[in-house]
Structures are given as C-alpha cells and as structure tokens.
Amino acid sequence: MAHKSQTKDDVRVRRSQQRVRQAVFDLTVEKGFTAVTVSDIAARAQVNRSTFYRHFLDKHDVVRRYLDEVQALAARRAAAQVGQPRPGAEHIPAGLLALLQEIQGHARFFKVMLGKQGDPAFAHRFRQITEKRYRLLFAAGGQQAASSSLPVDLQVAYIAHATLGALLWWLEHGQPISVEQLAIDLGRLNLTAAGMVMGPPGPRH
C-alpha cells in the first residue's frame, strides 16, 4: 500500500489545501475566526471558491482537520516515547511537548481561536483532547484519583479548563517562558492541582 497514486498526492491538491490552511490562519489572526468568510479565504489563498469546497466542507472543517492532525502528531510522539528510559528529575511527555511546540508555532492563531473571537467548537475539541490526556494520566497513576471523594469527570474538567486557562495566559502574554518550561510547569500544576481538588476531604453531599 501507500504506493497508489492518490488524489491527495496530487501536487495541485496539496498546494490548494496548504494555501487554504495558511489563509485561514492569517485571516483568523487578522479579524477573528467568526468574521472570516469562505470568500475571504479563497481570495487570500489565491484559489477559486469552488476549489475550497472541493476540499473542505466549510471553514470549520479546515481548523477541525488541522486540530486532528496536531492531535495525531502528538499521539504519535507519545507512542514513540513509551518504553523509553525515564529521564531524571523533570520528565517532559513527548506528546505534550509536540503539542505545545505546534501551538507556539501558531501562537497568534491559537490565541484568537480559543478566545472570544474564536470558534467554540474548536475550543471544545481542544479541551476534549486535554481532558483525554488527563484521564489517561489519572488512570495511570490513579491511586490519588481513586482516593478522592470527587468524581473523576469533575477532576478532569477542573484541571483541563485550568490548564487551558494557563495556556491562554501564556499565549496572551507573548509566551514568556519556553515551551519546555511550560510543559514542566503544567505537569507540576496538574499533579498538584489533582491532589488539591481531592484534597480537603470534608464530608460531602
């Protein structure tokens, strides 16, 4: 397999899609995702509007697929790391690192996209990815979570949102610390917060 001449391998196709994606990035930064129209995109991408529709369902489809690719990439990186010798003091998950690197590469795009001018569906999907990561983390070193009196869903939602908040802060303040440092800090935050959320085990409902 993989040697068949696919439509997706067509030079023109790749060129068109790449142009469209870049146009969406640029325009979103310029005027906010909401205000971007397919006509805008086509014009900026120097592609006919009907060509856009040949490749994407709508503007949401462009960013949805992009997010999927990023997520797939992160997953691949994470998978590749499994079984690797654990590094010392501060361990940086390869998946998270890849994700953050991609985000930094398109910092302004993500900042807008996850903000008030953005796409709620995009933000939601992004949050889901984050939640999934934490769910796995909790499952892995789950003793703490198990001991908590709070539902896992709640813990996950709490930490995922918080993480996204921190990430947004990072984006909106010009990424003041390195991606690596951010990964470490987030990791620490996560774990501590996890402990915290379940922390004070006062008698509940």
Q: Which residues contact 59 (CB under 8 A, 6 or more apart)?
A: 24, 33, 36, 37, 38, 41
Q: Of 26, 32, 55, 127, which one interacts with DNA (CB under 7 A)?
A: 55
Tell me which residue of 109, 102, 103 sits closest to 28, measured CA to CA. 109
Q: Would you give the end-to-end CA distance of the chain in angstroms?
A: 57
Is residue 149 part of the contact set for a copy of itself (CB under 8 A)? no
125 makes contact, choosing from a copy of itself, DNA, none, with CB < 5 to 8 Å by partner type, with a copy of itself
Of 55-63, 64-72, 135-143, 194-202, the window that binds DNA (rule: CB under 7 A) is 55-63
Is residue 57 within the footprint of a copy of itself (CB under 8 A)? no
* Binding partner of residue 141 among a copy of itself, DNA, none, CB cut-off 5 to 8 Å per kind: none
Determine, following the binding rule CB under 8 A, whether residue 159 of this chain makes contact with a copy of itself.
Answer: yes
What is the rounded CA–CA span in Å between residue 90 and residue 120?
A: 34
Buried b / exposed e over 72-104, threshold 16 CB at 10 Å, is eebbebbeebeeeeeeeeeebbbbbbbbbbbbe
The entry of DNA, a copy of itself, none near residue 74 (CB within 5 to 8 angstroms by kind) is none
Among the residue ranges 31-39, 105-113, 164-172, 193-201, the one whose residues contact DNA (CB under 7 A): 31-39
Question: By C-alpha distance, which of 151, 152, 134 is closest to 191?
Answer: 134
Among 116, 143, 146, 174, binds a copy of itself (CB under 8 A): 116
Name which of 16 and 130 has its Cβ closer to a copy of itself: 130
Whole-number Å distance between alpha carbons of 79 and 83: 9
Q: Which stretch binds a copy of itself (CB under 8 A): 21-29, 61-69, 76-84, 154-162?
A: 154-162
Indicate the residue among 23 and 112 with the shorter CB distance to a copy of itself: 112
